[in-house]
């Protein structure tokens, strides 16, 4: 691999005697990871599900409680449990930012540069259905992938927008308790995993990203509530993109202070400039990950008392959404997702949505066909095909109350194991597939 000379020169300066070990790390295979979605399953149960099939999940990522190191990505990415939202394929060091933002159920959380959703889905899991998450990405096309990943994860209290940070800042001054800014960067930490990034670096190096990063951070600081916390991260090693931005933010926002990470691991290196020692650097020669920088800030003051409102329904153009506590954050933005998309209104009632199916488990719907992951019907269903069934295979829901009074009851929930993957409708001895075309496995 040919690496940019400017990059190598800076790394020699930063790492000094550690540089040879860093250089040798590029001869090794990049780390691959998977993160268990704790909104649906605990890490222990997650590993047990696969061990039952004779596939032992490798060791855990030492600095992320629900992260695992894997060799065979294709096994997991093609498994029914992946489509059921039990896990997310993610590079190990990229798991660290969301793990170190101390989100608590009930918080208002913003993921400002959220696509494709690896960090947003973890933030949603840590909310555990309480409070709200606004996941934003300025690219509308990338935000569509973000939306799908949040829906697959079973997040019912997430909102997705594709707005510039300055617009959000004008709508949400001092609004969020926790903010994650995983800023666009030169991507030096990804050179080993994606060699093409090195060529891209020659065209757009750190100098091009620094002004953008500072602009984004300044808008994020405006949106942070008193007592709130902001985590800034990049996947680059450049001090100008990392520590210098930290010092810029501290100088221009004296209400912010740099604080230690709550789950700092011994393999993390400190910041390289005076005053940034509480920052963390993840290097591939020190930790099981590619490259990441993290800095956590706290805003002075105390978290304001708020009155939460009960969840409510919101309907627009025939689409029905269940809003989380607090309702719609601001009705003047362009939302791609507003809470849980519950279904689509038709003449006979509301037809349940794919997003709703992803939140359900066997016994949590009127009728469920629960299939073992190795049942050939699971993959047939995921490919959009009609499947056979027998009436004695159906599981009756217990004490089921309609989520929405007009929600139809004729649909059958299809589940991989206990976890919903979509709906179907009876047609004699067959189940007619209701899986959305965009969710089908090709």
Residues with catalytic roles? 235
User: Using the 8-state DSSP alphabet, how is residue 100 labeled?
Assistant: T
* Element (DSSP H or E) covering residue 411: strand 411-416
How far is 38 from 98, CA to CA, in rounded Å?
13
* Distance (Å, whole) CA 109 – CA 119: 12
How far apart, in whole angstroms, are the C-alpha atoms of residue 367 and residue 96?
A: 39
Question: From CA 301, how far away is CA 314, in angstroms rounded?
Answer: 34
Classify residue 284 by burial, with Cβ atoms within 10 Å: 0-12, 13-18, 19+: buried
Distance CA 394, CA 192 (A): 49
Residue 148: which H helix or E strand, with range? helix 140-153
Phi-psi region of 275 (alpha: psi -120 to 50; beta: other; left: phi over 0): left
- Chain-centre distance for alpha carbon 19: 33
The C-alpha angle with vertex 432 and arms to 430 and 433, in degrees rounded to 5, equals 130
């Amino acid at each position: 691999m040919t690496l940019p000379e400017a990059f190598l020169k800076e790394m020699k300066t930063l790492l000094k005697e550690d540089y040879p070990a860093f250089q040798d790390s590029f001869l090794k295979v990049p780390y691959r990871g998977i993160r268990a979605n704790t909104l649906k399953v605990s890490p222990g149960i997650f590993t047990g599900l696969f061990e039952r099939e004779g596939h032992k999940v490798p060791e855990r990522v030492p600095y992320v409680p629900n992260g695992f190191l894997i060799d065979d990505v294709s096994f997991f990415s093609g498994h029914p449990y992946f489509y059921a939202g039990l896990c997310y394929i993610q590079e190990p060091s990229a798991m660290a930012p969301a793990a170190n933002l101390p989100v608590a159920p009930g918080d208002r959380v913003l993921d400002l540069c959220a696509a494709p959703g690896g960090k947003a889905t973890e933030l949603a899991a840590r909310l555990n259905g309480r409070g709200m998450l606004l996941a934003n990405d300025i690219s509308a096309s990338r935000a569509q992938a973000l939306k799908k990943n949040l829906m697959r994860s079973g997040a019912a209290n997430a909102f997705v927008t594709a707005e510039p940070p300055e617009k959000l800042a004008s709508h949400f001054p001092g609004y969020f308790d926790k903010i994650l800014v995983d800023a666009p960067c030169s991507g030096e930490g990804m050179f080993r995993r994606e060699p093409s990034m090195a060529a891209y670096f020659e065209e757009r190096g750190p100098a091009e990203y620094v002004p953008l990063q500072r602009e984004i951070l300044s808008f994020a600081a405006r949106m942070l509530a008193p007592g709130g916390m902001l985590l800034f991260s990049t996947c680059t090693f450049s001090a100008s993109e990392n520590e210098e931005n930290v010092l810029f933010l501290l100088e221009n926002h004296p209400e912010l202070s740099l604080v230690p990470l709550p789950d700092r691991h011994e393999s993390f290196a400190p910041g390289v400039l005076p005053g940034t020692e509480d920052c963390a650097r993840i290097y591939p020669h020190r930790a099981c990950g590619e490259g990441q920088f993290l800095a956590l800030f706290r805003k002075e003051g105390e978290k304001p008392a708020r009155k939460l409102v009960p969840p409510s329904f919101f309907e627009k153009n025939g689409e029905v959404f269940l809003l989380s506590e607090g309702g719609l954050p601001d009705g003047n933005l362009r939302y791609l997702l507003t809470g849980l998309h519950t279904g689509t209104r038709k003449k006979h009632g509301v037809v349940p949505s794919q997003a709703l199916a992803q939140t359900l488990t066997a016994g949590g719907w009127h009728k469920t066909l629960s299939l073992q992951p190795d049942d050939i019907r699971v993959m047939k269903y995921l490919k959009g095909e009609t499947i056979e069934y027998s009436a004695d295979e159906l599981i009756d829901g217990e004490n089921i109350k309609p989520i929405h009074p007009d929600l139809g009851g004729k649909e059958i929930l299809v589940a991989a194991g206990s976890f919903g993957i979509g709906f179907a409708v009876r047609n004699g001895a067959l189940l007619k597939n209701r899986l959305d075309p965009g969710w089908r496995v090709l």
